[in-house]
Structure 1
Protein backbone atom coordinates (compact mmCIF):
# COMPACT_ATOMS: atom_id res chain seq x y z
CA UNK A 1 0.00 0.00 0.00
CA UNK A 2 1.44 3.41 -0.95
CA UNK A 3 1.55 6.47 1.30
CA UNK A 4 -1.51 8.09 -0.28
CA UNK A 5 -3.56 4.93 0.31
CA UNK A 6 -2.40 4.69 3.92
CA UNK A 7 -3.41 8.29 4.57
CA UNK A 8 -6.81 7.70 2.97
CA UNK A 9 -7.40 4.54 5.03
CA UNK A 10 -6.45 6.36 8.22
CA UNK A 11 -8.89 9.13 7.38
CA UNK A 12 -11.70 6.60 6.98
CA UNK A 13 -10.91 5.02 10.35
CA UNK A 14 -10.85 8.42 12.04
CA UNK A 15 -14.16 9.38 10.44
CA UNK A 16 -15.84 6.17 11.58
CA UNK A 17 -14.51 6.63 15.06
CA UNK A 18 -15.80 10.19 15.21
CA UNK A 19 -19.31 9.25 14.09
CA UNK A 20 -20.43 5.71 14.80
CA UNK A 21 -18.11 5.08 17.74
CA UNK A 22 -18.87 8.19 19.78
CA UNK A 23 -21.47 6.54 22.00
CA UNK A 24 -19.30 3.46 22.40
CA UNK A 25 -16.59 5.59 24.06
CA UNK A 26 -18.96 6.13 26.98
CA UNK A 27 -19.70 3.17 29.21
CA UNK A 28 -23.03 1.74 28.16
CA UNK A 29 -25.38 0.38 30.81
CA UNK A 30 -26.25 -2.61 28.62
CA UNK A 31 -24.29 -3.86 25.63
CA UNK A 32 -26.14 -7.10 24.81
CA UNK A 33 -29.35 -6.00 23.13
CA UNK A 34 -32.23 -8.13 21.84
CA UNK A 35 -34.15 -6.55 18.96
CA UNK A 36 -37.46 -7.95 17.75
CA UNK A 37 -38.84 -7.32 14.26
CA UNK A 38 -41.87 -8.62 12.36
CA UNK A 39 -40.68 -9.41 8.83
CA UNK A 40 -37.01 -8.45 8.61
CA UNK A 41 -36.70 -8.91 4.80
CA UNK A 42 -39.47 -6.39 4.18
CA UNK A 43 -38.32 -3.01 2.90
CA UNK A 44 -40.36 -1.50 5.74
CA UNK A 45 -37.56 -2.66 8.06
CA UNK A 46 -34.61 -2.11 5.71
CA UNK A 47 -32.81 0.29 8.10
CA UNK A 48 -32.45 -2.50 10.66
CA UNK A 49 -30.68 -4.82 8.24
CA UNK A 50 -28.51 -2.00 6.92
CA UNK A 51 -27.44 -1.00 10.43
CA UNK A 52 -26.56 -4.62 11.16
CA UNK A 53 -24.64 -5.31 7.95
CA UNK A 54 -22.85 -1.96 7.79
CA UNK A 55 -21.38 -2.81 11.20
CA UNK A 56 -22.85 0.22 12.95
CA UNK A 57 -24.07 -1.71 16.00
CA UNK A 58 -20.63 -3.15 16.66
CA UNK A 59 -18.97 0.24 16.18
CA UNK A 60 -21.33 1.67 18.80
CA UNK A 61 -20.30 -1.04 21.28
CA UNK A 62 -23.53 -3.02 20.96
CA UNK A 63 -23.82 -6.78 20.64
CA UNK A 64 -27.20 -7.17 18.95
CA UNK A 65 -29.34 -10.29 18.61
CA UNK A 66 -32.20 -9.89 16.14
CA UNK A 67 -35.31 -12.09 16.39
CA UNK A 68 -37.57 -12.09 13.33
CA UNK A 69 -41.28 -12.78 13.81
CA UNK A 70 -44.14 -13.25 11.34
CA UNK A 71 -45.56 -9.78 11.94
CA UNK A 72 -45.38 -6.66 14.07
CA UNK A 73 -47.94 -7.85 16.61
CA UNK A 74 -45.66 -10.76 17.52
CA UNK A 75 -42.57 -8.59 17.93
CA UNK A 76 -44.61 -6.31 20.21
CA UNK A 77 -45.53 -9.36 22.29
CA UNK A 78 -41.83 -10.16 22.62
CA UNK A 79 -41.20 -6.70 24.08
CA UNK A 80 -44.14 -6.91 26.48
CA UNK A 81 -43.16 -10.43 27.49
CA UNK A 82 -39.57 -9.41 28.21
CA UNK A 83 -37.79 -11.47 25.54
CA UNK A 84 -36.87 -8.31 23.58
CA UNK A 85 -35.32 -5.04 24.74
CA UNK A 86 -36.37 -2.93 21.77
CA UNK A 87 -38.47 -3.38 18.63
CA UNK A 88 -38.42 -2.06 15.11
CA UNK A 89 -42.16 -1.92 14.57
CA UNK A 90 -45.12 0.27 13.66
CA UNK A 91 -45.60 3.58 15.45
CA UNK A 92 -49.31 2.68 15.82
CA UNK A 93 -48.42 0.27 18.61
CA UNK A 94 -47.24 3.10 20.86
CA UNK A 95 -50.76 4.57 20.79
CA UNK A 96 -52.55 1.25 21.18
CA UNK A 97 -50.43 0.21 24.13
CA UNK A 98 -50.98 3.52 25.93
CA UNK A 99 -54.71 2.82 25.62
CA UNK A 100 -54.01 -0.48 27.41
CA UNK A 101 -51.95 1.28 30.13
CA UNK A 102 -48.79 -0.48 28.92
CA UNK A 103 -46.75 2.48 27.64
CA UNK A 104 -44.05 2.17 25.02
CA UNK A 105 -42.06 5.01 23.47
CA UNK A 106 -40.75 5.47 19.94
CA UNK A 107 -37.22 6.92 19.89
CA UNK A 108 -36.34 6.97 16.16
CA UNK A 109 -38.62 7.20 13.13
CA UNK A 110 -37.49 4.95 10.29
CA UNK A 111 -40.39 5.42 7.88
CA UNK A 112 -42.29 8.63 7.08
CA UNK A 113 -44.80 6.87 4.79
CA UNK A 114 -46.12 3.38 5.60
CA UNK A 115 -45.19 1.77 2.26
CA UNK A 116 -48.14 -0.61 2.70
CA UNK A 117 -50.16 -1.65 -0.35
CA UNK A 118 -53.69 -3.07 -0.60
CA UNK A 119 -54.15 -5.20 -3.71
CA UNK A 120 -56.75 -7.50 -5.20
CA UNK A 121 -55.63 -11.01 -6.11
CA UNK A 122 -56.45 -11.30 -9.81
CA UNK A 123 -57.42 -14.96 -9.68
CA UNK A 124 -60.22 -14.06 -7.25
CA UNK A 125 -61.68 -11.97 -10.05
CA UNK A 126 -64.37 -10.09 -8.13
CA UNK A 127 -62.58 -7.21 -6.38
CA UNK A 128 -62.43 -3.97 -8.37
CA UNK A 129 -62.19 -1.56 -5.44
CA UNK A 130 -61.98 -1.54 -1.65
CA UNK A 131 -65.79 -1.53 -1.53
CA UNK A 132 -65.75 -5.10 -2.88
CA UNK A 133 -63.82 -6.52 0.08
CA UNK A 134 -66.85 -7.45 2.18
CA UNK A 135 -66.93 -11.19 2.86
CA UNK A 136 -63.49 -11.73 1.32
CA UNK A 137 -60.33 -13.40 2.63
CA UNK A 138 -57.61 -10.79 3.03
CA UNK A 139 -53.98 -11.68 3.71
CA UNK A 140 -51.96 -9.46 6.08
CA UNK A 141 -48.46 -10.00 7.48
CA UNK A 142 -50.01 -10.94 10.84
CA UNK A 143 -53.28 -10.10 12.59
CA UNK A 144 -52.81 -6.98 14.72
CA UNK A 145 -49.90 -5.69 12.63
CA UNK A 146 -49.64 -2.41 10.70
CA UNK A 147 -50.88 -4.12 7.52
CA UNK A 148 -53.99 -5.17 9.45
CA UNK A 149 -54.42 -1.60 10.71
CA UNK A 150 -54.40 -0.21 7.17
CA UNK A 151 -56.98 -2.79 6.12
CA UNK A 152 -59.19 -1.89 9.09
CA UNK A 153 -59.03 1.80 8.27
CA UNK A 154 -59.79 1.31 4.58
CA UNK A 155 -62.79 -0.87 5.52
CA UNK A 156 -64.04 1.77 7.95
CA UNK A 157 -63.67 4.52 5.35
CA UNK A 158 -65.81 2.45 3.00
CA UNK A 159 -68.66 1.90 5.43
CA UNK A 160 -67.60 -1.54 6.65
CA UNK A 161 -66.09 -2.92 9.86
CA UNK A 162 -62.99 -5.05 10.45
CA UNK A 163 -65.34 -8.00 11.05
CA UNK A 164 -66.64 -7.78 7.47
CA UNK A 165 -63.59 -9.65 6.13
CA UNK A 166 -61.66 -12.78 7.09
CA UNK A 167 -58.10 -11.79 8.04
CA UNK A 168 -55.38 -14.35 7.33
CA UNK A 169 -51.75 -13.99 8.42
CA UNK A 170 -49.48 -14.76 5.46
CA UNK A 171 -46.16 -13.30 6.63
CA UNK A 172 -43.98 -10.92 4.66
CA UNK A 173 -41.90 -13.05 2.34
CA UNK A 174 -42.15 -16.17 0.20
CA UNK A 175 -45.10 -17.42 2.26
CA UNK A 176 -47.22 -14.44 1.20
CA UNK A 177 -46.37 -14.99 -2.49
CA UNK A 178 -47.34 -18.65 -2.08
CA UNK A 179 -50.68 -17.70 -0.49
CA UNK A 180 -51.47 -15.55 -3.53
CA UNK A 181 -50.49 -18.22 -6.05
CA UNK A 182 -52.40 -20.97 -4.25
CA UNK A 183 -55.58 -18.89 -4.20
CA UNK A 184 -55.77 -18.91 -0.41
CA UNK A 185 -56.66 -15.21 -0.28
CA UNK A 186 -58.81 -12.81 -2.33
CA UNK A 187 -56.81 -9.69 -1.50
CA UNK A 188 -53.55 -8.83 0.22
CA UNK A 189 -52.17 -6.01 2.33
CA UNK A 190 -48.38 -6.22 2.33
CA UNK A 191 -45.16 -4.41 1.51
CA UNK A 192 -42.21 -4.52 -0.84
CA UNK A 193 -40.54 -6.62 -2.08
CA UNK A 194 -43.64 -8.86 -1.87
CA UNK A 195 -45.88 -6.38 -3.70
CA UNK A 196 -43.45 -5.71 -6.53
CA UNK A 197 -42.90 -9.46 -6.96
CA UNK A 198 -46.63 -10.24 -7.10
CA UNK A 199 -47.28 -7.31 -9.43
CA UNK A 200 -44.47 -8.39 -11.76
CA UNK A 201 -45.95 -11.88 -11.88
CA UNK A 202 -49.31 -10.40 -12.89
CA UNK A 203 -50.99 -11.83 -9.78
CA UNK A 204 -52.37 -8.64 -8.20
CA UNK A 205 -53.99 -5.30 -9.00
CA UNK A 206 -53.16 -2.44 -6.65
CA UNK A 207 -56.11 -0.69 -4.98
CA UNK A 208 -54.34 1.58 -2.44
CA UNK A 209 -50.64 2.42 -2.23
CA UNK A 210 -48.87 4.25 0.61
CA UNK A 211 -45.37 4.06 -0.84
CA UNK A 212 -45.64 7.72 -1.88
CA UNK A 213 -46.67 10.96 -0.22
CA UNK A 214 -49.73 11.21 -2.48
CA UNK A 215 -50.80 7.63 -1.79
CA UNK A 216 -50.37 8.18 1.94
CA UNK A 217 -52.48 11.34 1.76
CA UNK A 218 -55.16 9.49 -0.25
CA UNK A 219 -55.45 6.73 2.35
CA UNK A 220 -54.77 8.51 5.63
CA UNK A 221 -55.42 12.17 4.82
CA UNK A 222 -52.06 13.31 6.15
CA UNK A 223 -48.46 12.33 6.96
CA UNK A 224 -48.26 8.99 8.70
CA UNK A 225 -45.32 7.59 10.72
CA UNK A 226 -44.50 4.01 9.81
CA UNK A 227 -41.66 1.88 11.17
CA UNK A 228 -39.97 3.18 14.31
CA UNK A 229 -37.59 1.99 16.98
CA UNK A 230 -39.60 1.65 20.18
CA UNK A 231 -39.10 0.36 23.70
CA UNK A 232 -40.50 0.55 27.22
CA UNK A 233 -40.06 3.76 29.29
CA UNK A 234 -38.33 1.78 32.04
CA UNK A 235 -35.71 0.54 29.56
CA UNK A 236 -34.94 4.15 28.61
CA UNK A 237 -34.78 5.25 32.25
CA UNK A 238 -32.45 2.41 33.22
CA UNK A 239 -30.33 2.57 30.04
CA UNK A 240 -30.14 6.16 28.76
CA UNK A 241 -26.65 5.80 27.25
CA UNK A 242 -27.57 2.52 25.58
CA UNK A 243 -30.75 4.10 24.21
CA UNK A 244 -28.68 6.97 22.86
CA UNK A 245 -26.25 4.51 21.26
CA UNK A 246 -29.15 2.74 19.54
CA UNK A 247 -30.53 6.08 18.33
CA UNK A 248 -27.09 7.04 17.03
CA UNK A 249 -26.91 3.81 15.04
CA UNK A 250 -30.31 4.24 13.41
CA UNK A 251 -29.89 7.95 12.69
CA UNK A 252 -26.50 7.22 11.16
CA UNK A 253 -28.18 4.53 9.04
CA UNK A 254 -30.95 6.90 7.90
CA UNK A 255 -28.37 9.49 6.84
CA UNK A 256 -26.43 6.81 4.93
CA UNK A 257 -29.60 5.55 3.26
CA UNK A 258 -30.62 9.05 2.26
CA UNK A 259 -27.43 9.38 0.20
CA UNK A 260 -27.03 5.77 -0.96
CA UNK A 261 -27.62 4.60 -4.51
CA UNK A 262 -29.65 1.50 -5.28
CA UNK A 263 -26.43 -0.34 -6.03
CA UNK A 264 -24.95 0.72 -2.67
CA UNK A 265 -27.93 -0.82 -0.88
CA UNK A 266 -27.93 -4.05 -2.89
CA UNK A 267 -24.26 -4.62 -2.11
CA UNK A 268 -25.01 -4.64 1.62
CA UNK A 269 -28.02 -6.98 1.67
CA UNK A 270 -28.04 -10.79 1.85
CA UNK A 271 -28.98 -12.67 -1.31
CA UNK A 272 -32.06 -14.28 0.24
CA UNK A 273 -33.74 -10.87 0.53
CA UNK A 274 -34.07 -10.67 -3.26
CA UNK A 275 -36.65 -13.49 -3.56
CA UNK A 276 -34.67 -14.88 -6.48
CA UNK A 277 -34.82 -11.69 -8.56
CA UNK A 278 -32.25 -9.00 -7.76
CA UNK A 279 -33.41 -6.71 -10.57
CA UNK A 280 -36.97 -6.78 -9.30
CA UNK A 281 -35.79 -6.13 -5.74
CA UNK A 282 -33.90 -3.09 -7.02
CA UNK A 283 -37.13 -1.79 -8.54
CA UNK A 284 -38.98 -2.48 -5.31
CA UNK A 285 -36.38 -0.54 -3.34
CA UNK A 286 -36.69 2.41 -5.71
CA UNK A 287 -40.49 2.33 -5.25
CA UNK A 288 -40.01 2.32 -1.48
CA UNK A 289 -37.11 4.76 -1.09
CA UNK A 290 -39.37 7.81 -0.62
CA UNK A 291 -40.94 6.14 2.41
CA UNK A 292 -37.81 6.41 4.59
CA UNK A 293 -37.32 9.22 7.06
CA UNK A 294 -34.46 11.52 6.02
CA UNK A 295 -33.18 11.97 9.58
CA UNK A 296 -35.22 9.95 12.09
CA UNK A 297 -37.27 12.81 13.55
CA UNK A 298 -40.96 12.62 14.46
CA UNK A 299 -43.63 15.22 13.73
CA UNK A 300 -46.68 16.07 15.83
CA UNK A 301 -48.80 16.09 12.65
CA UNK A 302 -47.83 12.49 11.91
CA UNK A 303 -48.65 11.39 15.45
CA UNK A 304 -52.04 13.11 15.26
CA UNK A 305 -52.83 11.42 11.94
CA UNK A 306 -52.06 8.01 13.43
CA UNK A 307 -54.32 8.71 16.41
CA UNK A 308 -57.17 9.76 14.10
CA UNK A 309 -56.83 6.55 12.08
CA UNK A 310 -56.71 4.25 15.10
CA UNK A 311 -59.72 5.94 16.69
CA UNK A 312 -61.71 5.10 13.56
CA UNK A 313 -61.63 1.33 14.18
CA UNK A 314 -60.12 0.64 17.62
CA UNK A 315 -62.69 1.08 20.43
CA UNK A 316 -59.99 1.03 23.11
CA UNK A 317 -58.11 3.92 21.51
CA UNK A 318 -61.33 5.82 20.82
CA UNK A 319 -62.36 5.70 24.47
CA UNK A 320 -58.90 6.43 25.89
CA UNK A 321 -57.35 9.80 26.72
CA UNK A 322 -54.16 9.50 24.67
CA UNK A 323 -51.18 11.76 25.43
CA UNK A 324 -49.23 11.73 22.17
CA UNK A 325 -46.22 13.38 23.81
CA UNK A 326 -45.66 10.12 25.67
CA UNK A 327 -45.69 7.99 22.50
CA UNK A 328 -42.49 9.41 21.00
CA UNK A 329 -39.46 11.52 21.79
CA UNK A 330 -37.08 13.45 19.52
CA UNK A 331 -34.53 13.86 22.32
CA UNK A 332 -32.23 11.01 21.27
CA UNK A 333 -32.47 11.80 17.56
CA UNK A 334 -31.60 15.46 18.21
CA UNK A 335 -28.53 14.45 20.21
CA UNK A 336 -27.53 11.93 17.52
CA UNK A 337 -27.82 14.55 14.77
CA UNK A 338 -25.66 16.98 16.71
CA UNK A 339 -22.99 14.36 17.17
CA UNK A 340 -23.10 13.03 13.60
CA UNK A 341 -23.16 16.45 11.95
CA UNK A 342 -20.10 17.77 13.77
Structure 2
Protein backbone atom coordinates (compact mmCIF):
# COMPACT_ATOMS: atom_id res chain seq x y z
CA UNK A 1 0.00 0.00 0.00
CA UNK A 2 2.92 2.37 0.70
CA UNK A 3 4.06 1.71 -2.88
CA UNK A 4 0.61 2.55 -4.24
CA UNK A 5 0.39 5.79 -2.29
CA UNK A 6 3.90 6.80 -3.36
CA UNK A 7 3.07 6.08 -6.98
CA UNK A 8 -0.06 8.19 -6.74
CA UNK A 9 1.91 11.11 -5.39
CA UNK A 10 4.31 10.83 -8.35
CA UNK A 11 1.30 10.83 -10.67
CA UNK A 12 -0.02 14.02 -9.07
CA UNK A 13 3.32 15.77 -9.54
CA UNK A 14 3.54 14.69 -13.18
CA UNK A 15 0.05 15.82 -14.09
CA UNK A 16 0.81 19.38 -12.98
CA UNK A 17 -1.46 22.28 -12.18
CA UNK A 18 -4.28 21.39 -14.58
CA UNK A 19 -4.84 18.05 -12.88
CA UNK A 20 -4.16 19.17 -9.33
CA UNK A 21 -7.76 18.60 -8.29
CA UNK A 22 -7.68 15.13 -9.81
CA UNK A 23 -4.59 14.22 -7.86
CA UNK A 24 -5.98 15.51 -4.60
CA UNK A 25 -9.20 13.59 -5.05
CA UNK A 26 -7.40 10.37 -5.92
CA UNK A 27 -5.05 10.82 -2.99
CA UNK A 28 -8.04 11.55 -0.77
CA UNK A 29 -9.75 8.28 -1.57
CA UNK A 30 -6.44 6.49 -1.20
CA UNK A 31 -6.42 7.79 2.38
CA UNK A 32 -9.34 5.43 2.99
CA UNK A 33 -6.73 2.70 3.24
CA UNK A 34 -4.22 4.73 5.23
CA UNK A 35 -4.41 2.53 8.30
CA UNK A 36 -4.20 -0.54 6.09
CA UNK A 37 -0.53 0.30 5.44
CA UNK A 38 0.11 -0.88 8.99
CA UNK A 39 -2.60 -3.55 8.97
CA UNK A 40 -3.35 -5.01 5.52
CA UNK A 41 -6.52 -6.70 6.75
CA UNK A 42 -9.19 -4.42 5.34
CA UNK A 43 -12.74 -5.02 6.50
CA UNK A 44 -14.07 -4.04 3.08
CA UNK A 45 -12.26 -3.94 -0.26
CA UNK A 46 -15.16 -3.03 -2.58
CA UNK A 47 -16.39 0.56 -2.39
CA UNK A 48 -19.77 1.36 -3.95
CA UNK A 49 -20.08 4.73 -5.67
CA UNK A 50 -21.96 6.66 -8.34
CA UNK A 51 -20.35 8.00 -11.48
CA UNK A 52 -21.16 11.30 -13.17
CA UNK A 53 -22.93 11.18 -16.52
CA UNK A 54 -20.59 12.16 -19.35
CA UNK A 55 -17.51 12.48 -17.15
CA UNK A 56 -14.66 10.36 -15.84
CA UNK A 57 -14.35 11.12 -12.14
CA UNK A 58 -11.08 11.46 -10.31
CA UNK A 59 -11.51 8.30 -8.27
CA UNK A 60 -12.44 6.32 -11.40
CA UNK A 61 -9.16 7.30 -13.03
CA UNK A 62 -7.21 6.44 -9.89
CA UNK A 63 -8.97 3.07 -9.70
CA UNK A 64 -8.30 2.32 -13.37
CA UNK A 65 -4.60 3.08 -12.91
CA UNK A 66 -4.44 0.76 -9.92
CA UNK A 67 -3.62 3.40 -7.33
CA UNK A 68 -6.46 2.38 -5.02
CA UNK A 69 -5.43 -1.28 -4.75
CA UNK A 70 -6.40 -3.36 -2.89
CA UNK A 71 -9.56 -1.26 -2.86
CA UNK A 72 -11.80 -1.55 -5.91
CA UNK A 73 -14.68 0.67 -6.91
CA UNK A 74 -18.10 -0.78 -7.69
CA UNK A 75 -20.21 1.41 -9.96
CA UNK A 76 -23.91 1.37 -9.08
CA UNK A 77 -25.18 4.08 -11.43
CA UNK A 78 -24.72 7.71 -12.45
CA UNK A 79 -25.78 11.02 -10.99
CA UNK A 80 -25.60 14.67 -12.00
CA UNK A 81 -26.25 15.97 -8.50
CA UNK A 82 -23.96 16.23 -5.49
CA UNK A 83 -26.90 16.52 -3.05
CA UNK A 84 -28.40 13.35 -4.53
CA UNK A 85 -25.03 11.62 -4.32
CA UNK A 86 -24.57 12.20 -0.60
CA UNK A 87 -28.22 11.43 0.14
CA UNK A 88 -27.55 8.05 -1.43
CA UNK A 89 -24.70 7.63 1.05
CA UNK A 90 -27.13 8.35 3.89
CA UNK A 91 -29.54 5.66 2.68
CA UNK A 92 -26.69 3.15 2.51
CA UNK A 93 -27.01 2.47 -1.21
CA UNK A 94 -23.43 3.61 -1.80
CA UNK A 95 -20.41 3.87 0.49
CA UNK A 96 -18.89 7.16 -0.66
CA UNK A 97 -20.29 10.25 -2.33
CA UNK A 98 -19.35 13.85 -2.84
CA UNK A 99 -21.07 17.22 -2.88
CA UNK A 100 -20.76 20.96 -2.42
CA UNK A 101 -20.03 21.89 1.19
CA UNK A 102 -23.33 23.73 1.53
CA UNK A 103 -25.27 20.57 0.69
CA UNK A 104 -23.21 18.60 3.21
CA UNK A 105 -23.84 21.16 5.95
CA UNK A 106 -27.59 21.01 5.29
CA UNK A 107 -27.62 17.22 5.66
CA UNK A 108 -25.54 17.26 8.83
CA UNK A 109 -27.77 20.00 10.27
CA UNK A 110 -30.71 17.67 9.58
CA UNK A 111 -28.94 15.04 11.75
CA UNK A 112 -27.79 12.87 8.85
CA UNK A 113 -25.16 10.40 10.16
CA UNK A 114 -22.36 11.33 7.75
CA UNK A 115 -18.90 12.83 7.99
CA UNK A 116 -16.95 14.85 5.41
CA UNK A 117 -13.56 13.15 5.12
CA UNK A 118 -11.62 14.95 2.36
CA UNK A 119 -12.06 17.81 -0.10
CA UNK A 120 -12.41 16.46 -3.62
CA UNK A 121 -13.05 19.34 -6.02
CA UNK A 122 -12.43 23.03 -6.26
CA UNK A 123 -11.84 25.95 -8.59
CA UNK A 124 -8.73 27.73 -9.84
CA UNK A 125 -7.51 29.27 -13.09
CA UNK A 126 -7.68 25.92 -14.92
CA UNK A 127 -10.46 24.12 -13.08
CA UNK A 128 -13.54 26.28 -12.67
CA UNK A 129 -17.23 26.56 -13.43
CA UNK A 130 -17.99 29.24 -15.99
CA UNK A 131 -21.34 30.88 -16.70
CA UNK A 132 -21.75 31.37 -20.44
CA UNK A 133 -24.05 33.23 -22.81
CA UNK A 134 -24.18 33.17 -26.60
CA UNK A 135 -21.70 35.46 -28.31
CA UNK A 136 -24.42 37.78 -29.60
CA UNK A 137 -26.40 37.81 -26.34
CA UNK A 138 -27.42 41.24 -25.03
CA UNK A 139 -26.62 40.02 -21.50
CA UNK A 140 -23.61 41.97 -20.23
CA UNK A 141 -24.23 42.38 -16.50
CA UNK A 142 -25.91 40.63 -13.59
CA UNK A 143 -28.93 42.91 -13.89
CA UNK A 144 -29.48 41.72 -17.45
CA UNK A 145 -30.29 38.27 -16.03
CA UNK A 146 -33.57 39.44 -14.51
CA UNK A 147 -36.35 37.49 -16.22
CA UNK A 148 -33.88 35.06 -17.81
CA UNK A 149 -33.29 31.30 -17.44
CA UNK A 150 -30.05 29.81 -16.18
CA UNK A 151 -29.01 26.16 -16.62
CA UNK A 152 -27.45 24.48 -13.57
CA UNK A 153 -26.74 20.81 -12.94
CA UNK A 154 -28.97 20.68 -9.86
CA UNK A 155 -30.71 22.98 -7.42
CA UNK A 156 -29.31 23.75 -3.98
CA UNK A 157 -25.66 23.16 -4.82
CA UNK A 158 -22.48 24.82 -6.09
CA UNK A 159 -23.82 26.44 -9.26
CA UNK A 160 -26.86 27.96 -7.58
CA UNK A 161 -24.84 29.21 -4.60
CA UNK A 162 -22.29 30.94 -6.84
CA UNK A 163 -24.99 32.49 -9.03
CA UNK A 164 -26.94 33.83 -6.04
CA UNK A 165 -23.78 35.37 -4.60
CA UNK A 166 -22.87 36.91 -7.97
CA UNK A 167 -26.31 38.51 -8.23
CA UNK A 168 -26.18 39.84 -4.67
CA UNK A 169 -22.68 41.29 -5.06
CA UNK A 170 -23.80 43.06 -8.21
CA UNK A 171 -26.66 44.87 -6.52
CA UNK A 172 -29.73 42.74 -7.18
CA UNK A 173 -32.26 42.71 -4.36
CA UNK A 174 -33.65 39.37 -3.13
CA UNK A 175 -36.89 40.13 -4.99
CA UNK A 176 -34.99 40.81 -8.22
CA UNK A 177 -32.85 37.69 -7.79
CA UNK A 178 -36.01 35.58 -7.56
CA UNK A 179 -36.82 36.68 -11.10
CA UNK A 180 -33.77 34.78 -12.36
CA UNK A 181 -35.07 31.27 -13.07
CA UNK A 182 -32.86 28.25 -12.46
CA UNK A 183 -33.37 25.23 -14.70
CA UNK A 184 -31.84 21.87 -13.72
CA UNK A 185 -30.21 20.43 -16.86
CA UNK A 186 -27.68 17.57 -17.12
CA UNK A 187 -24.20 19.06 -17.70
CA UNK A 188 -23.78 17.09 -20.93
CA UNK A 189 -26.70 19.00 -22.48
CA UNK A 190 -25.95 22.42 -20.98
CA UNK A 191 -24.20 23.69 -24.12
CA UNK A 192 -27.02 22.46 -26.35
CA UNK A 193 -29.65 24.12 -24.16
CA UNK A 194 -27.78 27.42 -24.45
CA UNK A 195 -27.27 27.27 -28.21
CA UNK A 196 -30.89 26.27 -28.86
CA UNK A 197 -32.21 29.13 -26.74
CA UNK A 198 -33.78 27.01 -24.01
CA UNK A 199 -31.80 29.09 -21.50
CA UNK A 200 -29.95 32.40 -21.73
CA UNK A 201 -27.07 31.41 -19.44
CA UNK A 202 -25.49 28.00 -18.90
CA UNK A 203 -22.89 26.71 -16.45
CA UNK A 204 -20.06 24.78 -18.09
CA UNK A 205 -16.97 23.17 -16.63
CA UNK A 206 -14.18 20.73 -17.40
CA UNK A 207 -14.00 19.08 -20.80
CA UNK A 208 -17.59 20.12 -21.55
CA UNK A 209 -16.56 23.76 -21.21
CA UNK A 210 -13.37 23.25 -23.22
CA UNK A 211 -15.21 21.60 -26.11
CA UNK A 212 -17.90 24.27 -26.13
CA UNK A 213 -15.27 27.01 -26.31
CA UNK A 214 -13.52 25.20 -29.17
CA UNK A 215 -16.76 25.30 -31.14
CA UNK A 216 -17.04 29.03 -30.50
CA UNK A 217 -20.09 31.24 -30.48
CA UNK A 218 -20.26 31.62 -26.70
CA UNK A 219 -18.63 33.96 -24.19
CA UNK A 220 -18.11 33.93 -20.46
CA UNK A 221 -20.22 36.24 -18.35
CA UNK A 222 -18.42 35.27 -15.15
CA UNK A 223 -16.90 32.28 -13.33
CA UNK A 224 -17.02 31.01 -9.78
CA UNK A 225 -13.39 32.11 -9.36
CA UNK A 226 -14.42 35.69 -10.22
CA UNK A 227 -16.69 35.58 -7.17
CA UNK A 228 -14.65 33.57 -4.65
CA UNK A 229 -11.13 33.26 -6.03
CA UNK A 230 -9.45 29.85 -5.75
CA UNK A 231 -11.26 27.58 -3.32
CA UNK A 232 -12.16 24.00 -2.41
CA UNK A 233 -15.84 23.55 -3.14
CA UNK A 234 -16.87 20.17 -1.78
CA UNK A 235 -15.92 16.96 -0.04
CA UNK A 236 -16.42 13.23 -0.08
CA UNK A 237 -18.54 11.88 2.76
CA UNK A 238 -18.86 8.53 4.52
CA UNK A 239 -21.57 7.26 6.85
CA UNK A 240 -20.68 7.24 10.54
CA UNK A 241 -21.60 3.55 10.64
CA UNK A 242 -19.28 2.78 7.73
CA UNK A 243 -16.39 4.46 9.54
CA UNK A 244 -17.18 2.57 12.76
CA UNK A 245 -17.56 -0.81 11.04
CA UNK A 246 -14.51 -0.36 8.81
CA UNK A 247 -11.77 1.29 10.89
CA UNK A 248 -8.97 0.03 8.63
CA UNK A 249 -10.68 0.90 5.37
CA UNK A 250 -11.95 4.31 6.49
CA UNK A 251 -9.80 7.34 7.32
CA UNK A 252 -8.95 7.47 11.01
Report the TM-score when normalising by structure 2. 0.74
Question: What is residue 122 of structure 1 aligned with on the other side?
Answer: 135
Q: Is the 8 A contact 2:50 2:85 kept in 1?
A: yes
1:18 deviation in Å? Answer: 7.5
Distance 1:62 1:143, change over 3 A: same
Distance 1:36 1:233, change over 3 A: same
Deviations 1:47-75 (A, max 9, x none): 22321221223x13334325321222321
Question: What is residue 325 of structure 1 aligned with on the other side?
Answer: none
2:45 equivalent among 14, 27, 31: 31
Q: Is the 8 A contact 2:146 2:180 kept in 1?
A: yes
Distance 1:134 1:71, change over 3 A: same
Q: Is the 8 A contact 1:38 1:75 kept in 2?
A: no
Take 1:122 and 1:167, find their aligned partners in 2: how far apart are those partners?
21
Where 2:168 maps in the other structure, the secondary structure is helix
1:154 pairs with 2:161: no
RMSD over equivalenced CA pairs, Å: 2.9
Take 1:75 and 1:17, find their aligned partners in 2: how far apart are those partners?
26
Report the TM-score when normalising by structure 1. 0.56
Take 1:32 and 1:79, find their aligned partners in 2: how far apart are those partners?
15
Q: How does 1:220-299 map to 2 (within 5 A)?
A: 220=228, 223-244=230-251
Distance 1:75 1:16, change over 3 A: closer
1:52 pairs with 2:63: yes
Aligned residue pairs total: 220
Where 2:77 maps in the other structure, the secondary structure is strand
Task: Looking at secondary structure, tell me which structure has more helix per residue.
Answer: 1
Task: Looking at secondary structure, tell me which structure has more strand per residue.
Answer: 2
Q: Is the 8 A contact 1:180 1:203 kept in 2?
A: no
1:219 deviation in Å? Answer: 0.3
Structure 1: runs of 5+ lacking an equivalent: 1-12, 211-215, 245-331, 333-342
1:188 equivalent among 202, 218, 221: 202
Question: What is residue 218 of structure 2 aligned with on the other side?
Answer: 204
Q: Is the 8 A contact 1:37 1:75 kept in 2?
A: no
Q: Is the 8 A contact 1:120 1:128 kept in 2?
A: no
Take 2:186 and 2:54, find their aligned partners in 1: how far apart are those partners?
11
Take 2:178 and 2:52, find their aligned partners in 1: how far apart are those partners?
24
